[in-house]
Amino acid sequence: MPNDLFVPPGHYYSPIPGDDEIQRYWKYREQPLPQTIASIDFNAREQDETLSGMIGEYRTLPSFPANRDGRLRYYYLNPEWPTRMQSHFGTSCASNHWKPTRAAHVRRSRICCFESSRNL
């Protein structure tokens, strides 16, 4: 046990997992993911069709340069890309695909909610 820890690894108050916990985790990770979950219908075929339709919407988005060139505000190699632009593009594709009657975008949590007159 390192000198600066007051409890051994694996103890409830330790930030370091014990060896047995690490072994259990790796055994869990080696198992294949389930294809189905009881009582949940993932509608995989419909999800594939929806995603295929959204790919067409994605192609209608503006073409931005790779790097900042001073002409446009947005560019693909922007350090903020993973957190902002990707979310907005996904939201844009979804709203163009489903044509919701109302939409709310919660900015802090990066969640977008759509209301539609039909059952999705």
42-89 residue pLDDT tens: 888 888 888 887 777 777 777 778 888 888 877 777 776 655 666 667
Contact in structure between 62 and 102 (CB atoms under 8 Å): no
In this prediction, residue 23 carries a pLDDT of 95
Q: How far apart are CA 27 and CA 29, in angstroms?
A: 5
When pLDDT is cut at 50, 70 and 90, the band that residue 17 belongs to is very high
- The radius of gyration of the chain's CA atoms, rounded to the nearest angstrom, is 23
| Domain range summary for the chain, segments of one domain joined by + | 81-120
Task: Give the N- to C-terminal CA distance of the chain in Å, as an integer.
Answer: 55
Q: Is the pLDDT of residue 120 over 60?
A: no
In this prediction, residue 50 carries a pLDDT of 82
Which residue is listed with tokens 């939409």?
103
Global pTM reads 0.44
